[in-house]
Amino acid sequence: MSDPVSSGDWSLRVALTSVCDDALRVLPEGPARDGVLQVRSTLAEPLRVAVSGSVSSGKSTLVNALLGQRIAAVDQGECTQLVTWFCYDHY
C-alpha cells in the first residue's frame, strides 16, 4: 500500500513531512525530536476535523458543505442528537 504522505496527493502534507524530516536529520535524541516524530506520524493519518457548536447553529450544514455531499441530516429544529463521525476518502 502506498504511503499517502509520499504519494504527492497532498502537497501540504508533503511539505510538512519534508520539514519534519529536515528537523529529524539535525535534532539529537530528546523531547524536541520526540515531538517532531509525533507530528510526522500524525501527518500520515487521515485529517480529522471536529465541528462543535450550539443546537441548530449550522454544524451539519458546514459538514455537508466541506464534503460537497448531503451526508449529515439538516433541519430547522434540533436534529443531530449524537456525536457523529463521518469518514471521507478521495483516494
State the residues that interact with ligand GTP by CB under 6 A: 53, 55-61, 74-76, 78-80
Please select the residue that binds Mg ion; options are 60, 65, 68, 69, rule is CB under 5 A.
60
- Name the minimum Å distance from CB 55 to Mg ion: 8
Q: Which residue has the cell 502506498?
A: 2
- Name the minimum Å distance from CB 69 to ligand GTP: 14
How far is the C-alpha of 51 from the C-alpha of 63, rounded, in Å?
8
**CB closer to Mg ion, 19 vs 74:** 74
**Stretch of residues binding Mg ion (CB under 5 A), selected from 7-15, 30-38, 46-54, 73-81:** 73-81
- Name the minimum Å distance from CB 4 to Mg ion: 29
Long-range contacts, 45-53 (Cβ 8 Å, 24+): 46/87, 46/89
Cell output for 55:
443546537
| Distances in whole angstroms, Cα of residue 26 to Cα of each of 22, 33, 49, 50, 65 | 7, 9, 32, 34, 42
Binding interface with Mg ion (CB under 5 A): 59-60, 79-80
